[in-house]
Amino acid sequence: MRQYAGFATVQETNARYKYLYKQGNTGFSVALHLPTQIGYDSTHPMSAGEVGRCGVAIDSLQDMEELWDGISLAEISTSLTINATAPIILAMYIAAAENQGAKQSQLAGTVQNDVLKEYIARNTYIFDPETSIRLTTDVCQYCAQNLPKWNSISICGYHMRDAGATAIQEAAFALANGITYVQAMKNRGMAVDSFAPRFTFIVACNINFLEEVAKLRAMRRAWAKIMKERFDAQDPRSMMFRFHVQNDGFTSTAQQPLNNIIRTTISALACVMGGCQSLATTSYDEALALPSEEAARIALRTQQIIAYESGVADVTDPLGGSYFIEWLTNEIEDGINKYISTIDEMGGAMEAVKKGYIQREIQRSAYDYQKAVDFGEQVVVGINNFTIEEDLKIQLHEIGENVEEKQIERLKKLKRGRDNEKVGHALNKVSQVARSNDNIMPALIEVVKTYATVGEISDALRDVFGEYREPSIA
């Protein structure tokens, strides 16, 4: 049980983490605000209006240290949802842990680090795809060599599903991206079994119960075959499809929001019966705003009731052998294989992304779905059927007005108080390593310790690599 949380400033998020911890949350999952995800400081003009909105504002190591105030990083497990700036944020996490006295080898958790899907959905890329994969691979390699308890990548189907992909598309494109990352590591001379056991996935769980169970079973099968047959893995752990599930936020409706508790329960049951390793349930008010404390608690209670009362978690693959589930699993696996062959022919997932192929496939599905809902072929309770007039009076979580101001002040103060000459030297070192073929991580761990900011470090990298603009597809 690992609920996703983060908003406003580090002090407020720290308080929420402590609250969740007391409620029985066994791991932490950090949501970072968009400027951090795209490599801007809170003071950057592009950050206006976004500071602390859909995640916590992390500008420097100082923020990272205070985020974990009173929580020992050597003892917990943390999921960092970060992609384009994953190397920087992981470096900050490592530095914060070291300042607490922890060793790198003690750190347990996951960094998302799946930047390929950012060009397909969600769009928090900074650099071109080649550069991004180099940085992703730097993180994977560094973790394989220094952080044995850390999952170096979490390959995402979720965001593509949320962007409109069908179950088969989600599964196929996530696995195709996975193939690209494994290949990139092999190209560096890393033995498959030295890193693949630390590759994980995040998938969405939609409301179509049987299809979701079959999808998860098909993905498990397909990944095992890919690792064994394509990459010649020997260690069974390399073939394991380990995954975290997030209930698909898209299935939540703003209308009659309490119905979302039922939707979440059905979808959570599907992924538990499909064999997920961990799960984050969606709060019922997510289609309206960031979750309130009550909604976040009910989401967690949903999982606890499934885990401790329902009994479905007591057995592995409880639906295996059902004629329909077995048939559907085969169908989905066939669909996955067809897409992967097509992508292979294009030269792999990165090329397919650069050509806009994957984006177009998903966009087509999203449009088809919208039309099906609009014309009533797909029933959505409360949207196109069983609607009511309602006045939404649920208690919503609100972000204080002055969060942006406070964060900007804090950052200005930090910049005045630190040793700016040291910062400059460390930033130069980052540029130098970026131009070489060396792993960027050691230089990043050094630079964050000087309290250089996410924006400053990202700018140093932008100077070397340039910035990427999306090709027009819509």
Which residues in this chain contact other proteins in the complex, by CB under 8 A?
A: 34-35, 37-38, 40, 45-50, 53-54, 118, 121-124, 162-164, 250, 252-255, 287-290, 363, 366-367, 370-371, 373-374, 380, 382-384, 392, 396, 399, 470, 472-474
How many beta carbons lie within 10 A of that of residue 385, not counting itself?
Answer: 10
- Taking the least distance from each CB to other proteins, the nearer of 286 and 333 is 286
What six digits make up the tokens of 172? 């196929």
Smallest gap from residue 258 Cβ to other proteins (A): 15
- Taking the least distance from each CB to other proteins, the nearer of 309 and 474 is 474
150-151 and 108-111 beta bridge pairing: parallel
What CA–CA distance (Å, rounded) separates 97 from 196? 25
377: Cβ–Cβ under 8 A, 6 or more apart, which residues? none
Smallest gap from residue 76 Cβ to other proteins (A): 28
Smallest gap from residue 253 Cβ to other proteins (A): 6
> CA 283 → CA 181, 247, 295, 302, 393, distances in Å?
32, 9, 5, 10, 16
DSSP 209: H
Smallest gap from residue 120 Cβ to other proteins (A): 11
- Taking the least distance from each CB to other proteins, the nearer of 159 and 242 is 159
Q: Output the DSSP codes for 330-383.
A: HHHHHHHHHHHHHHHHHTSHHHHHHTTHHHHHHHHHHHHHHHHHHTTSS--BTT
Sign, CA dihedral 94-100-106-111, equals: negative
Smallest gap from residue 296 Cβ to other proteins (A): 16
- Taking the least distance from each CB to other proteins, the nearer of 346 and 366 is 366
- Taking the least distance from each CB to other proteins, the nearer of 123 and 146 is 123
Smallest gap from residue 85 Cβ to other proteins (A): 12
- Taking the least distance from each CB to other proteins, the nearer of 288 and 427 is 288
What six digits make up the tokens of 38? 């795209």
- Taking the least distance from each CB to other proteins, the nearer of 232 and 470 is 470
What CA–CA distance (Å, rounded) separates 262 from 65? 38
How many beta carbons lie within 10 A of that of residue 300, not counting itself?
Answer: 20
What CA–CA distance (Å, rounded) separates 455 from 419? 17
Smallest gap from residue 221 Cβ to other proteins (A): 29
Is 372 exposed, middle or buried, given 0-12, 13-18 or 19+ CB atoms closer than 10 A?
Answer: middle
Q: Output phi, psi for 32, to 5 deg.
A: -105, 145
- Taking the least distance from each CB to other proteins, the nearer of 401 and 421 is 401
Smallest gap from residue 313 Cβ to other proteins (A): 31
> CA 237 → CA 78, 171, 193, 233, 467, distances in Å?
21, 20, 8, 9, 37
What CA–CA distance (Å, rounded) separates 361 from 165? 8
CA atoms within 13 A on the CB side of 224: 12
Smallest gap from residue 162 Cβ to other proteins (A): 7
- Taking the least distance from each CB to other proteins, the nearer of 313 and 399 is 399
Smallest gap from residue 344 Cβ to other proteins (A): 27
How many beta carbons lie within 10 A of that of residue 466, not counting itself?
Answer: 12
- Taking the least distance from each CB to other proteins, the nearer of 371 and 435 is 371
